[in-house]
Structure 1
């Protein structure tokens, strides 16, 4: 019924609670969250990375000026369509401010971890 989800190893569709898609560098990261089982403290999740598709598009046809752009991979697009059917409208975040703040907090953690890693490398020198 869901061939693209089955292809990435997601077979138990009924346990999916929500999903997120975010862009990190030249890749899109899909994270699928599953419902908590009885007695579990944390919800289980799986993360999948998909490289962004690179394209050259004409910016100005008169001067033959091109620009490099990226877009979501077709396989990820099909997976997201199937996840939308499974999760329904619940996955749509109406509050854009909340989504931006969530992404900002995640970015802060990533940058803080990278800074700590670089500082450790400097101490070794």
Structure 2
């Protein structure tokens, strides 16, 4: 059997195809690693941004609660109670809508207390 035999040629062809397949697989895996690394980094940035938005919103909610508590503290017959807890089912994309719903409710509370006038004491 010489190197020119059909079996040897077929073997070399198969080895060449296997090597090419392995090289292509390694290249695909490297590209996929880069792609996944970029996706993980982007997701981490989104998580960080969401945590910052949550912290900011918590601060805003606590400020509104303290202001409402200051108004209600003038009413001897009304207890402020405990501050509100975050709601797990709240949707992040509706954050601005939730925040804007607080402002009119606070103003309604303030107006209601002012209307009580001397009766509030």
Q: Could you state the TM-score of these two structures normalised by the residue count of structure 1?
A: 0.26
Q: Which has the larger radius of gyration?
A: 2
Higher relative contact order (CA 8 A, sep 6+): 2
Return the structure number with greater strand share.
1
Return the structure number with greater helix share.
2
